[in-house]
Amino acid sequence: MKTIGFIGAGHIGSQLARLAVSRGHNVVISNSRGPETLSPLVAELGPSAHAATPAEAAKAGDIVVVSIPLKNYRGVPVAPLAGKIVIDTENYYPQRDGRIPELDNESTTTSELLQAHLPTSKVVKAFNHITAEALTRDGQPSGSKNRRAVVIAGNDPTAKTTVSHLIDEFGYDTVDAGPLKEGWRIQRDTPGYGPRRTAEQLRGDLASAKRYRDQATATAARE
C-alpha cells in the first residue's frame, strides 16, 4: 500500500484517485483553490483520502501525480518532490495554455518541461492519452484478452517499472515509448491519442506518429 499524492484533482486527478483508493492505496489530493473545496471528493473517496495543499500532497506522496493545465506547471512545488516519482498526465492545448514557444517549435516536449522544473524528481509521462471517463471504465485484470494499454515515457527505468506496476493494478497494460523526449509520439493529434488501443496497437501508433511539423507538411502536400 502506497500513499499517492495528487496535484490537481479535476477530471483526471479525481479518476486516478478513485482507482488508487479502490486498489487499497491512500491518497492525498490537492487543487489550486484549497483543501476545503475538495470535501465532496474526499467524502466520496472515503477514509483513505485526505485533502491538502499542493506542497503537503507532494510531501505526503510516495508517488505524486501532476494533473493540472500545463500553463500552471511552474507552480508545482519543487522541494517536496525532490527524488520522488512524479506521474505527469499533462497535455498542451494552446487555446487553454497559451503559446509555449519551445513546444510550438518542438524543441522539447511537455513532460521534459516538467522534468526541467523538477530536476531531481523522476518524471514519468502516463495517462495523458486516455479520457477521464475511460479510466474507471476500461480497466481489466492482467492477462485479459485485448486489454487496453497506456503509454509511459521517462528517463529513469526504475521509476518506469514502479509506474508500470501501478498501471497494471489500475487495469492496464503498459507500452514504454522510451525516454521523455519520445513523449511527443503520444501527444495530441497522434494516432494513439484517445482511442482504446491494446499494447500491440499502441506500439504501431507510436511507430507511425508524426511530429506536428511533418503533419503540416503532409497536409500541405495533399492540398
Nearer to ligand NAP, 150 or 159 (CB): 150
Closer by beta carbon to ligand NAP, 158 or else 197:
197
CB of 149 to ligand NAP, least distance (A): 15
Q: How far is the CB of 217 from ligand NAP (least distance, A)?
A: 26
* Kind of pairing between the strands at 49-51 and 26-30: parallel
How many Cα neighbours within 13 Å face the side chain of 96? 9
| CB 145, min distance to ligand NAP, A | 25
C-alpha grid cell for residue 133?
A: 471517463
Nearest distance in Å: CB 77, ligand NAP: 9
Q: Are the beta carbons of 165 and 42 closer than 8 angstroms?
A: no
138 φ/ψ angles, rounded to the nearest 5 degrees: -95, -5
Strands in 149-154's sheet, in edge-to-edge order, are: 49-51, 26-30, 3-7, 63-66, 85-88, 122-125, 149-154, 173-176
Chain residues in the site for ligand NAP (CB under 6 A): 7-13, 30-33, 54, 67-70, 72, 75, 89-91, 128, 131-132
Strand 173-176 to strand 149-154: parallel, antiparallel, or no bridges (unpaired)?
Answer: parallel
Q: Which of 66, 71, 157, 73 is nearest to 116 (CA)?
A: 73
Indicate the DSSP class of residue 48: T
**Residue with the closest Cβ to ligand NAP?**
10
Q: Which is nearer to ligand NAP, 12 or 217 (CB)?
A: 12
Task: Pick the closer one to ligand NAP by CB: 74 or 220.
Answer: 74
What is the smallest separation between the CB atom of 37 and ligand NAP, expressed in angstroms? 6
Nearer to ligand NAP, 33 or 99 (CB): 33
